């Protein structure tokens, strides 16, 4: 049996399978070792073990946001403490997405969800990449950036009154208390990205449309323009923001010279298939 995980900052998708036959499929909270405590991560893994019950995977493939360097080491240690006799492989969410979406062939890979990331891949490994700077310094085009841009306009009183009134009514705390609520949250990126559905429901409003366009423009300019010499390669995108804004992204991709664009869902299924088809290079 193999356990496969595709983890973002918002949720983690899990598949337990035996030679491609799915035994279990479920979701837990997101796991990001950069933005979450070890205690929080361990608690999520305990809930996974509880759901697996007596089933014991021989191999675990875990691909997640923040799983590079020390972050990957932390996740590996936590997995090994929960399943000490299991062979464990940990990689970044971007590597997992590349293996799931590129079909073992070269391509440009991008994630647009709560956060954003991008790289070139040979289909097995990441060959060129741009560092993901997170919600404070980066996350161009992501839900967290769009949420941040929306809140900035709101608190500077630059939103249309009707939009501002609707946004204030949707805040999880009174306006005068909301900034304290936001900055004291242990999952600020998740809180910011939580405004993406509000944005999505108002795409025809000029101010909202401008926020989306500016955010996507920054994503293409900063995260994909460096790969412009590789624009003959297919561009693969995944993540909730990418899927919901596919039309706008296709138009922007055409402007930047990417002619082959595809969108992918259920990355954990693709990861499972990759490891059934390929040895790890």
Q: Please check whether residue 86 lies inside any domain of the structure.
A: yes
> Which domain CATH number covers 49?
3.30.420.40
Q: Structural domain tally of the chain? A: 1
Q: Please check whether residue 6 lies inside any domain of the structure.
A: yes
* Residue 227, burial from CB neighbour count under 10 angstroms (0-12, 13-18, 19+): buried
Model confidence pLDDT, tens digit, residues 56-69: 999 999 999 889 88
The predicted structure's pLDDT at residue 20:
85
Q: Please check whether residue 180 lies inside any domain of the structure.
A: no
Model confidence pLDDT, tens digit, residues 20-46: 899 999 999 889 888 788 898 999 999
Percent of the chain whose predicted confidence (pLDDT) is above 90: 72
pLDDT confidence tier of residue 132, bands split at 50, 70 and 90: confident
The residues, ordered by sequence, that sit 6+ positions from 32 with a Cβ below 8 Å of its Cβ are 7, 8, 9, 64, 65, 66, 71
Element spanning 155, H or E: helix 143-155
The C-alpha atoms of residue 171 and residue 182 are separated, in whole angstroms, by: 10
pLDDT confidence tier of residue 186, bands split at 50, 70 and 90: confident
3: nearest Cα among 277, 281, 271, 279: 271
Q: Please check whether residue 64 lies inside any domain of the structure.
A: yes
The predicted structure's pLDDT at residue 65:
85
Q: Please check whether residue 8 lies inside any domain of the structure.
A: yes
The predicted structure's pLDDT at residue 225:
87
DSSP state of 234: P
- Collapse the DSSP code of 75 into the 3-class scheme (helix H, G, I; strand E, B; otherwise coil) and give the result: helix
The predicted structure's pLDDT at residue 281:
42
Model confidence pLDDT, tens digit, residues 226-239: 887 765 789 999 99
Mean pLDDT of 203-216: 97
Q: Please check whether residue 178 lies inside any domain of the structure.
A: no
pTM > 0.75: yes or no: yes
The predicted structure's pLDDT at residue 151:
97
Domain span at residue 271? 2-99+267-277
The predicted structure's pLDDT at residue 228:
76
Q: Please check whether residue 210 lies inside any domain of the structure.
A: no
The secondary structure of the chain in percent helix, strand, coil, rounded to multiples of 5, reads 50, 20, 30
Q: Please check whether residue 109 lies inside any domain of the structure.
A: no
> What's the mean pLDDT when you consider all of the chain?
91
The predicted structure's pLDDT at residue 177:
95
The predicted structure's pLDDT at residue 257:
85
């Amino acid at each position: 049996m193999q356990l496969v995980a595709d983890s973002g900052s918002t949720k983690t998708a899990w598949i337990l399978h035996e030679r491609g036959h799915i035994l279990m499929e479920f979701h837990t909270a997101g796991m990001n070792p950069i933005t979450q405590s070890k205690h929080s991560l361990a608690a999520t893994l305990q809930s996974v073990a509880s759901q697996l019950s007596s089933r014991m995977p021989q191999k675990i493939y875990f691909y997640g946001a923040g799983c590079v360097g020390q972050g990957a080491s932390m996740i590996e240690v936590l997995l090994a403490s929960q399943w000490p006799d299991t062979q464990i492989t940990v990689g970044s969410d971007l590597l997992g997405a590349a293996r799931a979406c590129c079909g073992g062939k070269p391509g440009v890979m991008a994630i647009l969800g709560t956060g954003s990331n991008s790289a070139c891949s040979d289909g097995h490994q990441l060959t060129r990449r741009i560092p993901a700077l997170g919600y404070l310094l980066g996350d161009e085009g992501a839900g967290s950036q769009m949420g941040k841009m929306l809140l900035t306009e709101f608190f500077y009183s630059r939103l249309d009154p009707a939009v501002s009134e609707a946004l204030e009514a949707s805040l999880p705390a009174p306006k005068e208390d909301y900034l304290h609520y936001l900055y004291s949250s242990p999952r600020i990126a998740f809180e910011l990205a939580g405004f993406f559905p509000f944005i999505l429901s108002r795409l025809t409003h000029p101010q909202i449309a401008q926020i989306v366009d500016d955010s996507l423009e920054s994503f293409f300019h900063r995260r994909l323009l460096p790969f412009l010499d590789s624009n003959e390669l297919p561009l693969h995108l995944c993540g909730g923001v990418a899927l919901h804004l596919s039309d706008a992204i296709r138009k922007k991709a055409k402007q930047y010279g990417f002619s082959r664009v595809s969108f992918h869902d259920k990355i954990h299924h693709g990861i499972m298939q990759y490891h059934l088809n390929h040895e790890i290079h």
